[in-house]
Amino acid sequence: MGGATRPGYIADMSDAFTMPGGFRLLPGYFDRAAQQALIDLVVTASRSAPFWRPAMPRTGQPLSVQMTNFGPLGWVTDKAKGYRYEACHPETGQPWAPMPDTLLTLWREVSDYPAEPEACLVNWYAPTSKMGMHIDWDEEATDAAVVSVSLGDKARFRLGGPKRGGKTASMVLSSGDVVVLGGASRRCYHGVDRIYPGSSTLLSDEHFPGGGRINLTMRRVTIPG
Ligand code: SIN
Ligand code: FE2
């Protein structure tokens, strides 16, 4: 249709976005009790591996999210050395908290991958935080899906194609939802446009001042075997 308006329709076909293969949204995968148990694990992990605010490579510009990790490897970034995986927290020098069993079980159920995830990045979005469009590039095991869990406030998640600046689609992710970026979608741009502040009561002010959203992102980093 090449952009020509079709009589009787509001949208023309040039607006069409085809969802990349391997993308899956599993709404309400975790019920409220399971969400609470995951948040409790994040709080416990953050006692030994506190949330910190990482910096972009080269510019040193701070990210708008705070981070910690679970698992033998954790994703980190700083001005001097950039994006990478490290076995220890950049500020304490201590290992990350172990990967929770619930997350290993989720991975086995949805990743369709023959080895375990090595990293679970914990992103804490404040009400004003966003995540720019990006592709996850820092893993060797590019054949493994990325599996993520949304907890707390709703977020507008945006998915595009393999090239920057192409067409995108967006959807609202709610607490307990799971997203799987497998197959072709593993190499597609994605990001978070905004958080909907106050849309969930899961994150207590005691542990998460100002509230917001937690996203857990599991990844296989090294090639198994
Ligand atoms: C990410 O792509 O790193 C996070 C996605 C999300 O927060 O849902
Ligand atoms: Fe990502």
- DSSP codes, 23-91: EEEETT-S-HHHHHHHHHHHHHHHHHS--B--B-TTT-PBPSEEEEEESSBEEE--TTT-SEEESB-TT
Ligand 1, atom nearest to 121 Cα: 3
Q: Which residue is closest in CA terms to ligand 1's atom 2?
A: 191
Ligand 1 midpoint to CA 7 (Å): 39
Residue 102, token pair as written in the block: 């619930």
* Residues within a 6 A CB radius of ligand 1: 123, 131, 148, 157, 173, 190, 192, 215, 217
Query: Tens-of-pLDDT digits for all 225 residues of the chain?
Result: 445 566 776 667 778 899 999 999 999 999 999 999 999 999 999 999 999 999 999 999 999 999 999 999 999 999 999 999 999 999 999 999 999 999 999 999 999 999 999 999 999 999 999 999 999 999 999 999 999 999 999 999 999 999 999 999 999 999 999 999 999 999 999 999 999 999 999 999 999 999 999 999 999 999 999
Ligand 2 midpoint to CA 87 (Å): 20
Ligand 1 midpoint to CA 11 (Å): 29
Residue 30, token pair as written in the block: 């975790």
**Best CATH choice for the domain 10-219 from the list 3.40.50.720, 2.60.120.590, 3.30.565.40, 3.40.50.10440:** 2.60.120.590
Instruction: For 26-64, write each residue's pLDDT tens digit.
Output: 999 999 999 999 999 999 999 999 999 999 999 999 999
Those residues whose beta carbon sits under 5 angstroms from the ion ligand 2 are 136
